[in-house]
Amino acid sequence: MTLIKSISGIRGTVGGACGENLTPVDIAKFTAAYARFINSRCDGKRIKIVIGRDARISGEMVEKIVEGTLLGCGADVINTGLCTTPGTEMAVITHKADGGIIITASHNPKQWNALKLLNSHGEFLNAEEGHRILELAENEEFDFKTVDEIGKVVAKEDFNTEHIKQVLKLSAVDVEAVRKRRFKVVVDAVNSIGGVVIPALLRELGCEVIELNCLPNGEFAHNPEPLPENLTEISSVVVREKADLGIVVDPDVDRLAFVSEDGSMFVEEYTLVAVADYILSLNQGNTVSNLSSSRALRDVTEKHGGKYYASAVGEVNVVAKMKEVGAVIGGEGNGGVIYPELHYGRDALVGTALFLTYLAKRNMTMTQLRATYPAYFASKNKIELTPAIDVDKVLVEIKSRYSNENVNDTDGVKIDFADSWVHLRKSNTEPIIRIYTEAHTMDEADALAKKFINEIKSICQL
C-alpha cells in the first residue's frame, strides 16, 4: 500500500495505516492544510472552494470527508459531484471561487485515489505553493471553527452540461460542419465520468454514439491508462461496427486517445499534434509540450511558421511555459490538450470538439489524417523503484556518459540524438522511473528503451 505526498497533492491506495496509505485521517489533514493555505491568501474573508470527483468506488467516501473538513475550516463549498477534472477547473473560474479540490487518481487503478489542488484560476498550484501545503499538513496544529463560524454547502450542482455548452461556443468549434459528417463514434470511458460527458458532447455534435464501458460505477473494465495494450476491445468494436473512429478517455477525462476506422491506434501522442495542426491553421503562433512529448508537435508548429517550446513534465509546468511564450495551443503527449481560449487545463472535451471539427473540414478518414504527420514511434517504459535504486545517482551517471550529446536536465535527463531521443525521470505520481524513447520505427524506439533500461540496471547492480 502506498501514500505519495507531493507538490501536486496527495495520492495513495485506499485503506490501511494512517500516514502510509490514503486514509480518512490523511485526507482530512491534507484538506485542512489546503484550506489554511487558501485562507492565508484571502485577507480574512470567507473562502469558497469547488470540489468534484470522478466515479471511483472510493470517491463518495473521500468527497464527504473533504466537504466536511472544508466546512469545519470555515469554507463555503460548491460541490459539483461527479465531474471531470477540466469541468471542476472551469467551475472554479465560472463561480469565481478561491480554489478547488479534484478527487481523482487520474489513470491509476481503482484502489487509488487522490486530491488535486487548484488555485483561484482553476489551475494547479505551483511548486512553491505545493511545498507550503505539505509543510502545513506536517507541522500545523489545526484549529477548526466554532459552530457559528463553520462553512456551508452553498451549491450542489452538475457542471457537466455547462462545460459542454462552453466548449460548443468556441469559435474554432464548427458544430454544423461536424453535424454534416454524421460521425459514427465508439466511446470507451472505462466506467467513469467520461461515460456521461463524452457521449453527451458527441450527441450535441450530431454523432451516432456506441457506448462501451460508459456506466460510471468505478469498476474499471480494463487498466484505465489509455495505452494501446489496454484498448483491444474498442479497437475490435470500431471495426465490427464500421465506425468512423473510437474515442478513449481516462477516469477524470483530461487525457484523450483516438482509434482509427481500421482499428489501429491514432496514437495518443498525435492527439495534441492533430489539434495543434488545426489551431495553427487558424492562428499562427507558438506551441508548448513537455520534454516527454513527440517531436511531431515541433515539426507541425514549424510548418505553420510558429516556434515550439518544451517544458518540464507536469501540467503546471506546461501552463507556465505557455503563458510565458504566449502559446496558442499546448499540452502533453499523453493525450492532454490545453486550449487557452477556453481555460489552462488539459481537457478531453475541447480536444474532442476541435479534433472532430478538423476531421470534418479536412474530409478525411482517421488513417488518411494520421498519414499526413511525421512518423514517430514512442516506447514508454518504467522501472519500479526499490531501496537499491538511487535515482539521483542514475541520472548523474547517465548524463556523464552522454555528455557529448544534446542533453537537457531541466526535468530528469533527456538526451536528443539525431534521429531519436530518450527521457529518464522520476515520476511525480508513482514510485517509478519513467523511460520514454522516440524514434522513426517502433523497433528502434524499443531497442533504445531496452538499452537504457539495461544501463540503469547495470548502474544499480540489479
pLDDT tens, position by position, 207-259: 999 999 999 999 999 999 888 899 999 999 999 999 999 999 999 999 999 99
d(CA 226, CA 207): 22
CB atoms within 10 A of CB 195: 25
Residue indicated by cell numbers 541520472? 395
pLDDT tens, position by position, 150-207: 999 999 999 999 999 999 999 999 999 999 999 999 999 999 999 999 999 999 999 9
DSSP state of 42: T
The band of 413, judged by pLDDT with boundaries at 50, 70 and 90, is: very high
Cα–Cα distances in angstroms (integers) from residue 138 to residues 33, 90, 418, in the given order = 9, 30, 47
User: Residue 429 pLDDT more than 80?
Assistant: no
The band of 137, judged by pLDDT with boundaries at 50, 70 and 90, is: very high
- DSSP E strands in 278-395: the ranges are 287-290, 308-311, 329-332, 336-338, 377-384
Per-residue burial over 287-305, b = 16 or more CB atoms within 10 Å of its CB, e = otherwise: bbbbbbbbbbbbebbeebe
Please, are residues 247 and 49 in contact by the beta-carbon 8 Å criterion? no
The band of 431, judged by pLDDT with boundaries at 50, 70 and 90, is: confident
The pLDDT value given to residue 462 = 59
Q: Around 393, how many Cα atoms within 13 Å sit in the side-chain half-sphere?
A: 11
The pLDDT value given to residue 387 = 74
Write down the H helix ranges in 41-145: 59-72, 85-94, 127-139
d(CA 198, CA 348): 8
Q: How far apart are the first and last CA of the chain?
A: 23
| Residues in a beta bridge with 436 | 380, 423
The pLDDT value given to residue 269 = 92
The pLDDT value given to residue 32 = 97
User: Residue 454 pLDDT more than 90?
Assistant: yes
Give catalytic status of residue 106 as yes or no. yes
Percent helix, strand and coil across the chain, each rounded to 5?
A: 40, 25, 40
d(CA 39, CA 73): 9
The band of 1, judged by pLDDT with boundaries at 50, 70 and 90, is: low
Torsion of CA 228, 229, 233, 236, to 10 degrees: 60
User: Residue 384 pLDDT more than 90?
Assistant: no
DSSP state of 15: S
pLDDT tens, position by position, 53-73: 999 999 999 999 999 999 999
Please tell me the pTM assigned to this model: 0.93
The pLDDT value given to residue 389 = 76
Average pLDDT over every residue of 434-443? 95
Percentage of the chain beyond pLDDT 90 is 87
d(CA 283, CA 329): 10
Average predicted confidence (pLDDT) for the chain: 94
- Answer positive or negative: Cα dihedral of 125, 130, 133, 134: positive
Please, are residues 50 and 78 in contact by the beta-carbon 8 Å criterion? yes
Catalytic site residue from 6, 8, 40, 106: 106
Average pLDDT over every residue of 98-126? 96
For residue 198, the surrounding DSSP H or E stretch is helix 194-204
Per-residue burial over 145-164, b = 16 or more CB atoms within 10 Å of its CB, e = otherwise: eeeeebbeeeeeeebbeebb
Percentage of the chain beyond pLDDT 70 is 98
